[in-house]
Copies of this chain bind each other. A is one copy, B any other.
Amino acid sequence: MAASSSSSCDPQLDPNTANVRPPPAAGDGWYGVAHGCTRKLGMKICGFLQKNNSLDEKGRMVGAFSQKQQLVSELSDREHFRRTETDFSNLFARDLLPAKNGEEPTMQFLLEVMDILTTYVRKTFDRSTKVLDFHHPHQLLEGMEGFNLELSDQPESLEQILVDCRDTLKYGVRTGHPRFFNQLSTGLDIIGLAGEWLTSTANTNMFTYEIAPVFVLMEQLTLKKMREMIGWPNGEGDGLFSPGGAISNMYSVMIARYKYFPEVKTKGMSAAPRLVLFTSEHSHYSITKAGAALGFGKENVILLSTDERGRVIPADLEAKIIDAKQKGYVPLFVNATAGTTVYGAFDPINDIADICEKYNLWLHVDGAWGGGLLMSRKHRHKLNGVHRANSVTWNPHKMMGVPLQCSAILVREKGILQGCNSMCAGYLFQPDKQYDVTYDTGDKAIQCGRHVDIFKFWLMWKAKGTVGFEQHIDRCLELSEYLYNKIKNRPGYEMVFQGEPQHTNVCFWYIPPGMRNMPHGEERRERLHKVAPKIKAMMMEAGTTMVGYQPQGNKVNFFRMVISNHAATRSDIDFLIDEIERLGHDL
């Protein structure tokens, strides 16, 4: 067990002492102890004083000493559950609340956990801490110095549980570290974290107002604010928080189908003609996945060509709509991506909306990654036309730094989510409650129970204000501009696409010195394809930083740098570039 901090509070003062080892007794009086001056003495003094207190020996003491005792006693009394030296090796889950006398061990256990977590939080922001301590799966499975992942029939002591908590964090990845750039979701927002802790403690479910009154209202108000940012009149419309962008996108396809072919809900896809969906070849795979899952079929998800920057070419959309109609298919749905996963490209929403209006198609905007830019007066123009969408996906857990999971599906037409998904399960959603049951959201969702994803986001919005999100977004985009300007003409770098990125995505190849004079051709391509994976593997082994790479179309593996981490600074960008050059120099 790591050092458990001492404090006052002799457990004998507390009725719930059964499982808590008393702190070592002070063998002598105030002055004797005082001469010791060890790290534990403070606790010993308080323990001794309170022990005497509990034995009602107060009367035998006189003058200033007695007064001091009383003071320390009162100090300890205020913080009834300050951490004490607790022996967790003899405590088990069964000793915690609701067990009899479980309050003291419960509080000591939770305070110890909290100490582990706050230490982790502090280290996360400390650049001298590694981003990760990499091990291969077989290494972790074989067991690392007492960290055994196997589950057994018999309980482990709370001491082992605390060790497991520490080890879980030790062998994990610090996604909040200022040098973690690997995903679209990075950073550790303290308010969001506090919000998520509270959500876990409340441990309830979004499906009725009855058991989540506050959270249901917060969701409603927050969705309205988001719809206002989108630009729908008076923020009218509907929406839900879903378990992630892929599910939000799936919702959009479902409600589009319900809008045009409501009979599919009852009769299945055979009641509709052959329906086709359109999305860019650079869009997130979840649109195609939704097409496959919902019974459209992958081949009826038609991929649109993009320009060099990864943006949909509107003329290609129109040509493909016409082509589909000529084949007798029925175009239903167009997805425009606001912030593609790799390039960070924004499809031209207004041009696409024109075409959707012309052909009467559902327009969905997948703003999972780019939706956050709506909070910035400087950058929101990149989503111009978004108010013309029928539905929008927007993941605050990406660009806005909200802890995972936090994704919204927003819908312009009120009532259609309910119409699409309602099964009228009267046994779950009783109509005869004493409150206004239109606040019960369960039957709108494809889920039954639904995790509370709203609170952390609501709390962050309260704490930062809209302006706080705006500053965060502007800052991340400035940082990516800094990176772009730093490497665009730097020897050894090639940009994957030309011009300043629209989002924080900066895509580039690093060309090791030994390759810089190679003629372009297949041999160079093959060798370059291996550079990013090798550098990434070395980064992970070193644990210094993490950045993503991938191929795209006919382009070999390149780095995709993204910035959503509010802890990142220019020095971290510099560090990343130094690290790539250090690790890649001899490849």
Distance of A273 from chain B, by nearest CB (Å)? 9
Contact B292 A293 (CB under 8 A): no
In the docked arrangement, what's the CA distance between A193 and B161, Å? 13
Find out whether the CB atom of B151 lies under 8 angstroms from the CB atom of A458: yes
**Residue A515 at the B interface, CB < 8 A?**
no
Cβ contacts under 8 Å, A70 to chain B: 37
**Which residues in window 255-310 of A have CB below 8 A to B?**
264-271, 274, 284-286, 288-289, 291-300
Q: Decide: B79 and A83 in contact? CB cutoff 8 A.
A: yes
Whether the Cβ atoms of B460 and A93 lie closer than 8 Å is yes
Knowing A67-B34, A449-B405 touch, does A190 contact B6 (C-beta < 8 A)? no
CB atoms of B196 and A74 under 8 A apart: no
Contact in complex: B200, A448 (CB < 8 Å): no
Q: How far is the CA of A300 from the CA of B82 in the complex (A)?
A: 60
Kindly identify which residue among B194, B404, B446 contacts A246, using a CB–CB cutoff of 8 Å: B446
A residues 34-48 near B (Cβ < 8 Å) are: 34-35, 37-39, 41-43, 45-46
A250 touches B151 (CB 8 A): no
Task: Check: A484 CB closer than 8 A to any chain B CB.
Answer: no
CB distance from A16 to the nearest CB of B (A): 11
User: Is A254 a contact partner of B161 (Cβ separation < 8 A)?
Assistant: no
Interface residues on A, range: 35 or more
A172-B212, A427-B342 known; A448-B151 Cβ under 8 A: no
Residues of the B chain whose Cβ atoms lie less than 8 Å from the Cβ of A546:
210-211
- Nearest B residue to A398, CB-CB: B449
On whether the beta carbons of B446 and A250 are closer than 8 Å, the reply is yes
Candidates B42, B76, B446, B466; contact of A72 at CB < 8 Å: B42
Evaluate whether A172 and B213 lie within 8 angstroms (CB atoms) in the complex, with A165-B198, A250-B446 already known: yes
Residues of B within 8 A of A161 (CB): 191, 194, 459, 462-463
Q: Please tell me if the beta carbons of B203 and A245 are within 8 angstroms of each other in the complex.
A: no
| Contact pick for A270, options B194, B215, B270, B451, CB 8 Å | B270
Closest residue of chain B to A154, judged by CB? B465
Pairwise interchain contact B211-A183, C-beta atoms closer than 8 A: yes
Q: What's the nearest-Cβ distance from chain B to residue A195, in Å?
A: 8
Residues A428 and B154 in contact, CB atoms below 8 Å apart: no
Contacts of A521 in B (CB 8 A): none
Separation in Å of the A176 CB from the closest CB of chain B? 6
Identify the stretch in A106-114, A311-319, A579-587 within 8 Å (CB) of chain B at 4 or more residues.
Answer: A106-114
A257's nearest neighbour on chain B, judged by CB, is: B295
- Let me know if A298 and B125 touch, CB within 8 A: no
Whether B164 contacts A462 by the Cβ 8 Å rule is: yes
Q: Are B191 and A200 in contact (CB under 8 A)?
A: no
A56 contacts chain B at the CB level, 8 A cutoff: no
A190 touching B106 by the CB < 8 A rule? Answer: yes
Give the chain B neighbours of A296 by CB distance below 8 A. 268, 295
Beta-carbon nearest neighbor of A136 in chain B: B435
The residue in chain B whose Cβ has the minimal distance to the Cβ of A533 is B432
Q: Is A552 an interface position by the 8 A CB rule?
A: yes
Residue on B with the closest CB to A7? B79
A residues 425-439 in Cβ contact with B at 8 Å: 425-428, 430, 432-436, 439
**Which chain B residue lies CB-closest to A78?**
B5
**B295 engages A268 (CB within 8 Å):** yes
Q: In chain B, what residue has the closest Cβ to A211?
A: B173
The residue on B at minimum CB distance from A190 is B96
Q: CB distance A151 to B461 under 8 Å?
A: yes
Residues of B within 8 A of A153 (CB): 465-467
Interface residues of A in 397-447 (CB under 8 A from B): 397, 403-405, 421, 423, 425-428, 430, 432-436, 439, 445-447
**Residues from chain B with Cβ under 8 Å of A81 in the complex:** 118
In the complex where A75-B42, A81-B118 touch, is A156 in contact with B268 (Cβ < 8 A)?
no
| Complex interface: chain B residues within 8 A of A524 (CB) | none
Binds B, one of A17-25, A218-226, A350-358: A218-226
A426-B7 contact given A67-B35, A140-B213, A285-B448, CB 8 Å threshold: no
* Contact status of A245 and B448, CB under 8 A, knowing A121-B201, A153-B466, A423-B285: yes
Name the residue on B nearest A196 (C-beta): B200
The 16 sampled A-B contact pairs (Cβ below 8 Å) are A34-B68, A37-B71, A39-B77, A94-B464, A96-B191, A98-B178, A151-B462, A173-B210, A245-B449, A264-B292, A264-B297, A265-B297, A266-B298, A269-B269, A295-B296, A397-B449
Q: Taking A196-B200, A246-B448 as given, write out 12 further A-B residue pairs in contact, using a Cβ cutoff of 8 Å, ordered by the A residue number.
A: A37-B71, A151-B461, A152-B466, A155-B462, A183-B205, A183-B211, A188-B201, A244-B450, A246-B447, A284-B448, A426-B550, A433-B537
